[in-house]
Amino acid sequence: MRKRVGFVFAVAVVVLFCCVGVGKAFADDDGSTGGGERTEKKGIEGQMFVDLLPAQSVLLDGDDEKFRQIQWMNNKYVGGANQISGRFKYPEDITFDLEGRALAGQNDYDGILHLEKKDFGFVSFEYVEFSKYFDGSGGVYNPNRLLAVSELDKELELEIGHFALEAGLRVPKFPETTLFYEREFEDGSKSRTAWGTVTDTAGNGRNQKISPTYQDIHTMTDIFGIRAKHEVNGYVLNGEQRWEFVKSETFREAREVCNTSVTSTACEVYQLSQSPDTNVMTTTLRAERWFSKDMIHVSSGYRYANLRYRETEESRVRNGLGTILSNAENKVGARADSQLDTHTWVSSLMAFLTKTLNVGGKTKVELVKRKSSSTYPQDNTLDGTINLTDMSRTNDHIVRFGENGAIRYKGIPRAALYTEADFQQDVNSLDEFRDEFGPGEGTSEDFHRKTDAFINRGALALGAHVAPLARVNVTVQGRHRWNNSDFDDEFEQPVRAANGRQLSAFIESQDLRTSELSSRAKWTPFSWLTSSVRYQWRVDDFEMTVQDIGGETKADTTSHIYTADVTVQPLENVFVTGYFSRYLSTTSTIAHLVAAYQPDFKSDVDTWLGSIEYVPSEHWVWNGTVLYSDADNFNDFTGVGLPLGADFTRIEVSLGAKWTPRKDVSVGPKCAYYRYDSNPAAERNDYDAFAFFLEGSVALG
């Protein structure tokens, strides 16, 4: 991270000096432009604003990983600048803008530099980097008498960043041309939810997957290309050529825990290393134009994409001491290759038929061709002898059609109505072949199958915005989405017996449906009082039909979200805000129908938030916030399963002040208290934290 920041700082300095140099180049000492018309000599004008954070310190008692994950805040010393912004004007219509932030210890960096000369072009530079924190705790299972909960001994932090350079030509009557380069990266570790097994050999013998797992990630993405835009006889023409290269290395580990020891020789440690590389080339062309005195807008476009993907993979199974175990999951030199070509044509029409009515429509046709292959050599003891190799080939030919229509109507006084429909149909001809060969080969994995897949997606939306009274606004929207898939096996060899294993084609159909309704009402009875309420309802339904099994597999999730907020200014120098949210969600699966009954999964949570700001004079501002969040979802059914419902109380309180002795200078301290108190039967990640902040700002120019 330090090397990246140093590199970026060096680039920023170079760009800054280039900016000054360019500014001087465009205006000679005598105020002329080098032989053209003389202009009045002008100096450089500019101003800057800096919001400083000289110190941020946290005293923490409890789970530091949980604190960082929830607060997105490091519990170590942090200092730097919350915001830096500035604008400078050079002679000859040259402007230089900068904006950024830099917090050392928090790995929070953000910077934008933009240099532009009117009617000539621009150069811009952008850098963003931040850390995402993860908790290394696993699940909790109280009946396990020896180890009810486990935690990784590894700090989990994923550094995420983005770097971009753009240079554009903006000369009148010439095409707008832009060259660009981007780099995106992820570097670090994150937790995974595919937990390992904890074995209770000395307890009641109940084993559960509560051992935490992690994955190391190192990904680098390079993107570069050129885009152009030009207008010819009223037609706006756009084009872009883009190349993208993604290289990644990941390592994933899942540990079993036996006899309370991760180093027991009876435990298995699963390790998976993957190195995917992806190269993507896209060509995009688009044309658009307004007709009938800007009453009708028509556009059409074409996009070609070519993707090449290759991944190598190795997996190993060890015991707790690191010794390789003889296991069929030991794979060496596994490789997968894929090639994808996509041709997409789109067109759209938008018409303003009257002052109160406009309609629009879109169409899409897409052709997709994919070839994929993979080999998985199996080396049970990693002695260099391949025991078995699985080889697969897959070919896809997809034809996709899409249609969209929308209507907006504002002919009713104090109201606006809209509706939109979106449809998509896919026909996928899938040809699969798998073969198993080697000393331990068999026929259970061999097959050749041709399948026609028919996929129907769509969405319907209807909404209205109404202002029945001068100080009341109401918005209502309903939406329904569906994604229905049907799979027909046209050819399969060998033919499986009834109730026999169907390998990868065991699904006959799958339906996903989502219905949503949301409404919001805003009321402003007085200039010093504003309030609003909102309700959101959503239902997700899932149905799947499996070959040779009667009935259907079903699941659904229903959620209700109630929110209310109010802003009050009871006095001229006092501002108060309040917010409340209740989120209710229930997920029901087929598990509640089995003999060992498992209840529905609930994820309900209530949140209250309040803030106050007091301005006793032009030199002082006091502010405070309070947050209280509560979830009570733990349901003890450990006799038949693993409860995963969240059950916690979260509290945050802050108090701060800002002193402004001068118009362009301010300084202020702030203190905060954070508490997370969980039900130990659900999780064990409590913490109490006190934080102190010292902030300041200065305006220059």
CA distances from 493 to 375, 496, 500 (A): 20, 8, 13
Alpha-carbon gap, residue 575 to 102, rounded angstroms: 30
Highest mean pLDDT among 15-19, 68-72, 223-227, 412-416: 223-227
Question: Quick one: pLDDT band at residue 500, thresholds 50, 70, 90?
Answer: low
Query: Could you tell me if residue 72 is left (phi over 0), alpha (psi between -120 and 50 degrees) or otherwise beta?
Result: left
Instruction: State the Cα–Cα distance between residues 634 and 501, nearest whole angstrom.
Output: 38
Q: How far is CA 313 from CA 63, 328, 332, 375, 439, in A?
A: 35, 15, 7, 10, 22
* Cα gap 363→130, rounded to integer Å: 39
The residue with tokens 């609930």 is 602
Residue type, 334: A
Whose tokens are 């994923």? That residue is: 158
**Residue (of 503, 589, 512) closest to 546 by Cα position:** 503
Contact 651, 667 (CB under 8 A): no
Band of residue 40 on the pLDDT scale cut at 50, 70, 90: very low
Average pLDDT over residues 504-509: 72
What is the band of 447 on the pLDDT scale with cuts at 50, 70, 90?
Answer: confident
* Alpha-carbon gap, residue 63 to 72, rounded angstroms: 14
Residue showing tokens 């109401």: 474
Please tell me the distance from the alpha carbon of residue 272 to that of residue 250, in angstroms, as a whole number.
8
Which pairs from 581-584 meet CB under 8 Å and 24+ separation? Answer: 581/606, 581/607, 582/606, 582/607, 583/559, 583/607, 584/559, 584/560
Structure pTM? 0.86
CA dist., res. 671 & res. 283, Å (int) = 53
Beta bridge partners of 236: 231, 288
379 within 8 A of 408, measured Cβ to Cβ: no
169 or 202, higher pLDDT: 169
pLDDT of 37:
35
What is the percent of the chain with per-residue pLDDT over 70, rounded to a whole number? 88
Instruction: Tell whether the model's pLDDT for residue 373 goes beyond 90.
Output: yes
Q: What is the 3-state secondary structure (H, E, C) of 197-226?
A: EEECCCCCCCCEEEEEEEEEEEEEEEEEEE
619, 573 Cβ separation under 8 angstroms: no
Q: What is the pLDDT of residue 33?
A: 37
- Provide the pLDDT for residue 486: 92
Phi, psi of 38 (to 5 degrees): -70, 140
Angle made by CA atoms 86, 91, 93, in degrees to the nearest 5 = 75
Question: What was the pLDDT predicted at 596?
Answer: 61
The dihedral sign for the CA sequence 354, 358, 359, 364: positive
pLDDT tens-place string over residues 600-611: 889 999 999 999
Amino acid at 530: T
Q: Which of 1-10, 330-339, 525-534 has the highest mean predicted lDDT (pLDDT)?
A: 525-534
Pick from 298-302, 416-420, 695-699: least confident? 695-699
pLDDT grade for 208, boundaries at 50, 70 and 90: confident
Segment holding 248, helix H or strand E: strand 235-255
Nearest to 266 by CA among 279, 275, 257: 257
Average pLDDT over residues 169-193: 94
Task: Name the residue with higher pLDDT: 288 or 261.
Answer: 288
Q: What CA–CA distance (Å, rounded) separates 695 from 687?
A: 25
Residue 420: its pLDDT value, please?
Answer: 97
Residue type, 203: G
The sign of the dihedral angle between the CA atoms of 632, 638, 643, 648 is positive
- Residue 196: pLDDT band by 50, 70, 90 thresholds? confident
Q: What is the mean pLDDT of residues 244-249?
A: 96
Torsion of CA 264, 265, 266, 271, to 10 degrees: 90
